[in-house]
Amino acid sequence: GAVVSQHPSRVICKSGTSVKIECRSLDFQATTMFWYRQFPKQSLMLMATSNEGSKATYEQGVEKDKFLINHASLTLSTLTVTSAHPEDSSFYICSARWGPGVNSPLHFGNGTRLTVT
Amino acid sequence: AQSVTQLGSHVSVSEGALVLLRCNYSSSVPPYLFWYVQYPNQGLQLLLKYTTGATLVKGINGFEAEFKKSETSFHLTKPSAHMSDAAEYFCAVSDIGTDKLIFGTGTRLQVFP
C-alpha cells in the first residue's frame, strides 16, 4: 500500500534554531499534502495545506513566516519551524493525498516529535 | 463549517467485550465521514469511511460504523475487543467544498484482560 515517510521521527533542538521536517510519498505522487500539529492527548489541528508548485494555504492563526512549507515536488513536502521556541514543542504529522477530492485516500506519516529546549 | 464531536475521551472495556465509540457531526448536508486509529508516537491509519451508498460500513480489524442521518451520528463498533485494539481513535468529517478533514478530539480505548 501507499506509504508516507516522515523524517526525522524525533528531534531535539535549542531555542532559536530552525528545524526542517520532511514528508515523502514513497510510491505515489501526492497532489496535496497536509501538515498537522498535535498537542498531548489532543486532536490533530490542521496547520496548512500544500499543493506541488504553489504556495501553501495556512489555517487561521498559524504563522506562515514561522512555519515554512515547501512542496517542491509531487513526492516531497517540507515543514521548517523557524526560530523555534519551547512552545513549538509538539507532535507534527504530515499526510498526503494522491488524487483530487476528499474521497481519494489520505495517507499519514508516522509523525515527528519536536522538543525545543 | 463542519465539526465533529466524540463523546467520551476515554473508554475502557474488557477483552472480548463490545467496543462502542461515539461520534456525532454537525452538518445539514451528509458529509464524508471517517474513523482513524493512532498508536503511540505514530501517524493515523484509516479504519473505515463513509461516502455514499450503504450506511453500514465495514473496516479493517473487525471494526464497523453506521451512518445515521437522523441522528447525525457515525459510531464505531467492534463486537469483541482485543488487547491490540488499545489506541487512540479519531472521528473525522470532510469540510464541504474543500478536501480537508476536520478531526474530533479523539477517544482513547483501553482494553483490560
Q: Residue A64: what pLDDT?
A: 92
- Output the tens digit of pLDDT for each of chain B's 113 residues: 678 999 989 999 999 999 999 999 987 666 789 999 998 878 889 999 998 888 999 999 999 999 998 999 999 999 999 999 999 999 998 876 667 888 999 999 999 99
Does A111 contact B104 at a Cβ distance shorter than 8 Å? no
Q: Residue B63: what pLDDT?
A: 97
Q: Residue A82: what pLDDT?
A: 97
Q: Biggest alpha carbon distance in chain A?
A: 40
Q: Residue A117: what pLDDT?
A: 96
Size of interface A-B (CB pairs under 8 A): 56
Q: Report the SS3 class of residue B83.
A: helix
A24 touches B at CB < 8 Å: no
Whether A103 has a pLDDT exceeding 80, the answer reads no
**Closest approach of A37 to chain B, Cα-based (Å):** 11
Distances in Å between the Cα of A2 and the Cα atoms of A15, A108, A115 are 35, 10, 29
Determine which of B101, B102, B108, B110 to mutate to test the interface with A (most A C-beta atoms within 10 Å): B101
Cell of B76: 464505531
**If you count them, how many residues does chain A have?**
117
Nearest residue on chain B to A45, judged by CA atoms?
A: B103
Strand spans (E) along chain A: 4-7, 10-13, 19-25, 32-38, 44-51, 57-58, 67-73, 76-81, 90-97, 106-108, 112-116
Nearest residue on chain A to B37, judged by CA atoms?
A: A108
**Alpha-carbon gap, residue B96 to A52, rounded angstroms:** 22
pLDDT single digits (tens) A34-62: 999 988 777 889 999 988 878 899 999 99
Does A103 contact B41 at a Cβ distance shorter than 8 Å? no
